[in-house]
Amino acid sequence: MIRPAVAGACQLHHMSRKTFVNLSAASLDATREFFSALGFEYDEARSCDWALCVAVNGDFSVLFLAEPYFADFAPSGVADPSAGNEVVTTLGADSRDEVDRMAEAAAVAGATGAVTAEQTGVYSRSFTDPDGHRWEFPYTDPEAAPS
């Protein structure tokens, strides 16, 4: 596939030292619906018909690329998330309640494979999104975590 060269369609330049995780998506519309249910917002300047940029914070975004376009960046092939995880994306939470809200919203929006874990001072919940990508939301209690 040849990468689209539509001027202004997706402004993926001038990223400086920001972090972007790139993941494939079978349907950008379904991906938008899922992450909207979790309360995320989008960087529309970096989104277009073949890319959806989920703005996690000012320095970190997840860039979902339509599968044919993502394949252009993966010369060794696109991983099949149903056969194994190519990455687990972990986004820290500010409280146990936030962890629970994210996991519960994900379940309602269609997430599968929910796991809850608790170790000394760390509470986390993880799930698999509709495209098969694994996500984890941990909260570390500063009072209980080992130093």
pTM: 0.80
1-73 belongs to CATH 3.90.550.10:
no
Assess contact for 12 and 51: CB atoms under 8 A. yes
pLDDT tens digits along 19-53: 889 999 999 999 999 999 999 999 998 899 999 99
Instruction: Give the N- to C-terminal CA distance of the chain in Å, as an integer.
Output: 50
Share of the chain above pLDDT 70, in %: 86
How would CATH label the architecture of 87-147?
Roll (3.10)
Domains in the chain: boundaries: 1-73, 87-147
Enumerate residues 6+ apart whose C-beta is below 8 A from 138. 90, 92, 93, 99, 122, 123, 124
C-alpha triplet 127, 69, 48: angle, nearest 5°: 85
* CATH topology agreement for domains 1-73 and 87-147: yes
